[in-house]
Homo-oligomer: A and B are copies of this chain.
Amino acid sequence: MAPDDEVLTRMTDLAGQEPAGTLASSVYDRLRGDILSGSLPPGEKLRTETLRARYQVGNSPIREALNRLSADGLVTREDQKGFRVAAASRADLEELVKTRCWLEAIALREAITNGDNDWEEELVLSFHRLSRVRRSSSEDHYTVNPEWERLHRAFHLALLSACGSRWLLQYCAQLNDQADRYRQLAIVVSYPRRNELDEHEAMMKAATGRNADEAISLLMAHYERTAGIIRESISEFAAS
């Protein structure tokens, strides 16, 4: 293989477009995407046979992906009873938001305390990139823009990335996934009219300005507002 090809492969990898070196990882990514996007609804039974047909692979990669997802909390597993998409309920949402605020408050404070120049620059960069793409792919009706979703996630992760604990960072990312799923479930119902860009900018500026209390306060409000929108747009989620 030519060196140029290698570099190209690497680049696309980093861009998140070329998913996986192994079938199991590829299925993991696709399944994860389908759950997060709501394409596979909460409580849905995940039969081996069905998934094999859907993703055109054998038994083992499917099973491997499901096991990984169950550890992420996106899928539930019961011995001898197989797998399901994790249930979603209003109570779970409240618990999720609460936990997320607890953990991210710590992470953000630590990041602001310990973050170095690289962290600041990465944060500014993340915001800039996010500001350059529209939330919806379409102008009139809302269509999820995968690029925005990706950059949005990257921004929030960049905020916390200097917290000094890979454990905490991983947990925040996991809760982020969960919250994203609820957001997508809500989007099906209501078009989100809200200028999140200003909120993100305010957070970015408070963080780079090393104003921890202000930044945390903004972040909490941000999540509380998001949760409010989700609450309003959905009375109850299917949980079976």
* Chain A residues in the interface with B (C-beta under 8 A): 20-22, 25, 60, 63-64, 67-68, 70-73, 79-80, 95-96, 98-99, 102-103, 106, 164-168, 171, 175
- Assess whether A79 is in contact with B20, with CB atoms less than 8 Å apart: yes
Complex Cα–Cα for A102 and B106 (A): 8
- Assess whether A79 is in contact with B167, with CB atoms less than 8 Å apart: no
- Contact with A72, one of B64, B71, B98 (Cβ below 8 angstroms): B71
List 10 A-B pairs, Cβ < 8 Å. A21-B79, A22-B80, A60-B60, A64-B64, A71-B72, A95-B165, A95-B167, A99-B168, A102-B165, A102-B168
Closest B residue, CB atoms, query A23: B79
Complex Cα–Cα for A93 and B95 (A): 29
- Assess whether A96 is in contact with B64, with CB atoms less than 8 Å apart: no
Interface of A is mostly: helix
- Contact with A60, one of B63, B106, B165, B166 (Cβ below 8 angstroms): B63
Closest B residue, CB atoms, query A71: B71
| Known contacts A60-B63, A68-B67; A95/B164 CB under 8 A | yes
- Assess whether B25 is in contact with A167, with CB atoms less than 8 Å apart: no
- A60 proximity list for chain B (CB < 8 A): 60, 63
Complex Cα–Cα for A195 and B5 (A): 48
Closest B residue, CB atoms, query A178: B167
Complex Cα–Cα for A106 and B98 (A): 11
| Known contacts A22-B79, A71-B71; A98/B165 CB under 8 A | yes
- A98 proximity list for chain B (CB < 8 A): 164-165
Q: How far is the CB of A165 from chain B (nearest CB, A)?
A: 4
- A73 proximity list for chain B (CB < 8 A): 167
- A71 proximity list for chain B (CB < 8 A): 67-68, 70-72
Q: How far is the CB of A125 from chain B (nearest CB, A)?
A: 26
- Beyond the given A63-B64, A67-B68, A71-B72, could you list 8 further A-B residue pairs with CB under 8 A, ordered by the A residue number? A20-B79, A21-B79, A25-B79, A60-B63, A64-B67, A68-B70, A98-B164, A167-B175
Complex Cα–Cα for A70 and B72 (A): 11
Complex Cα–Cα for A80 and B20 (A): 11
